[in-house]
Amino acid sequence: MSITPRLADPNAAAHERVYRTLRQQVMHGELAPGQSLTLRGVAEMFGVSMTPAREAMRRLAAEGALTISNSGRIATPELTPERIEELAQVRALLEPEMASRALPRVHFALIDRLAAINQLNQEAVMNQDAVAYVRSNLEFHRTLYLRAQTPAMLAMIETVWLQLGPTMRALYQKIRRREMPQHHRHILAALRAGDEPGLRLAIRTDVTQGLRHLIS
């Protein structure tokens, strides 16, 4: 008896590619707050049919990365000060906890990796590249939190990062500072010292201070 091989669904593969790429663009602030998207435009951008584009955008909307109005307009989030404050509080609760759980598994090679990412972060500041800043900043945090081995927490915080991505890009474009805050250096120092209370404080300060500029 011959068995006919099961063919992969091309729409599923296309949907996953569109979803992952758009998700990354939103999280890293490559799209501005309130930027409109259309199904046709996304389908043409990725060279796919309307079906995978539609499914990807629905999935992103469910995660808060996109908003869909009653009229059907699709856009990146435009956050109110109240919403920014709420998301900042979520970060302040979850991220110090993940950092604390990561600390016993931190080794010198990881600290060196974090320091290298932080250097990229500094270069982005010097070049006033807001997207590169957001990307390297999130990579710094994610690299540390992966050591916590808390996938549910990481999934939750990535949803928060998704919602904040475009707004964070707008913030850094607005501030245009040439020197980055010292919070990442404080995080690295606490990791080297094995200082759990200091690590919690440095993480909490880092994830909330920048967002206060938006609220004020």
The pLDDT tens digits for 153-187 are 999 999 999 999 998 888 777 766 666 678 999 99
Whole-number Å distance between alpha carbons of 120 and 114: 10
> Would the pLDDT of 8 be above 90?
no
Length of the chain (residues): 216
Residue 138 pLDDT > 90: yes
Average pLDDT of span 62-74: 89
Q: What pLDDT, on a 0 to 100 scale, did the predictor assign at position 7?
A: 42
pLDDT tens-place string over residues 105-130: 999 999 999 999 999 999 998 888 88
Phi-psi region of 176 (alpha: psi -120 to 50; beta: other; left: phi over 0): left
- Report residue 6's pLDDT band, with 50, 70 and 90 as the boundaries: very low
What letter represents residue 109's amino acid? A
Going along the chain from its start, the domains and CATH numbers come out as: 10-75 (1.10.10.10), 81-215 (1.20.120.530)
Q: Is the pLDDT score of 211 beyond 80?
A: no
Give burial (CB, 10 Å; 0-12/13-18/19+) of 31: buried
181 vs 143 pLDDT, higher one: 143
Q: What is the pLDDT of residues 39-52, one digit of tens each?
A: 899 999 989 999 99
Spatial separation of the C-alpha atoms in residues 97 and 23, rounded to whole Å = 25
Of all residues in the chain, what percent carry a pLDDT higher than 70?
88
Tell me how far apart the alpha carbons of residues 27 and 46 are, in angstroms, rounded to a whole number: 18
Q: Report yes or no: 19 and 11 within 8 Å, Cβ to Cβ.
A: no
